[in-house]
């Protein structure tokens, strides 16, 4: 075999090795999605830490007048809120670490694993958040009572007497709870979708496109 034949085989082999994978764009798209997801996870966690620090300090702000046994209830609820939140942030932490692995973008099977890991993390996020809604509602009640939480709790405890003497108060509290509940649910659904849910759909669409091209 002469030099020209060797050169021809080398060129042919080089062309074969550098052939572009037709599915590369889909893996690249998922890679870009993961970058955005990591930013969202980091941003939300930092926001959560700042919010928790504010809530710890809040009872000492004169405006809210949170004192006595109401202050004890407040911190007990805040403790539950903190531990409950850490449950789903633990899931996102593992997901965050796993997205830095390059191997995730090397096969369809790895993309499927990534998809279901994210889906499970989002479901954990929503489930934990819904379980924490009662604590959130009571904390809202304490915030906006502006020092009247103890008095209002007494009226609620003696429901029948309050209903006969001051029914408008119970109607006001009931409407406030309903509005607060709707507000919390809307915020939860919007946050879960715009921070994570829409990216889950993007990953799924790339997986579906890969299936069509196979």
The confidence score (pLDDT) of residue 102 equals 59
For residue 4, what pLDDT band results from cuts at 50, 70 and 90? low
pTM, rounded to two decimals: 0.78
Q: What is the rounded CA–CA span in Å between residue 34 and residue 26?
A: 12
The rounded mean pLDDT for the chain is 82
What pLDDT score does 29 carry? 83
pLDDT of residue 10: 38
What are the pLDDT digits (tens) for 171-210?
988 898 899 899 999 999 999 999 999 999 998 988 888 7
- What's the confidence (pLDDT) of residue 43? 92
User: Could you report the per-residue pLDDT of 82-127, keeping only the tens digit for each?
Assistant: 888 888 888 888 888 887 775 666 677 878 888 999 999 999 999 9
Question: Residues in the chain, how many?
Answer: 214
The string of pLDDT tens digits covering residues 40-96 is: 999 989 999 999 999 999 888 887 778 888 888 999 999 999 888 888 888 888 888
């Amino acid at each position: 075999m002469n030099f020209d034949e060797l050169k021809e085989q080398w060129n042919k082999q080089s062309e074969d090795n550098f052939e572009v994978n037709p599915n590369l764009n889909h893996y690249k798209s998922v890679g870009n999605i993961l970058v955005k997801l990591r930013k969202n996870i980091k941003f939300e966690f930092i926001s959560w830490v700042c919010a928790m620090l504010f809530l710890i300090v809040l009872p000492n702000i004169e405006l809210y007048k949170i004192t006595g046994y109401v202050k004890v209830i407040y911190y007990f609820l805040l403790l539950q809120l903190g531990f409950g939140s850490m449950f789903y942030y633990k899931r996102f932490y593992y997901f965050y670490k796993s997205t830095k692995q390059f191997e995730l973008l090397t096969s369809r099977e790895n993309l499927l694993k990534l998809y279901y890991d994210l889906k499970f993390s989002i479901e954990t996020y929503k489930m934990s958040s819904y379980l924490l809604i009662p604590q959130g509602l009571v904390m809202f009640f304490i915030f906006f009572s502006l020092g009247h939480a103890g008095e209002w709790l007494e009226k609620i405890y003696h429901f029948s007497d309050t209903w006969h003497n001051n029914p408008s108060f119970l109607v006001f509290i009931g409407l406030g709870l309903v509005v607060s509940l709707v507000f919390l649910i809307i915020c939860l659904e919007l946050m879960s979708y715009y921070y994570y849910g829409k990216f889950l759909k993007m990953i799924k669409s790339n997986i579906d496109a890969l299936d069509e091209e196979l």
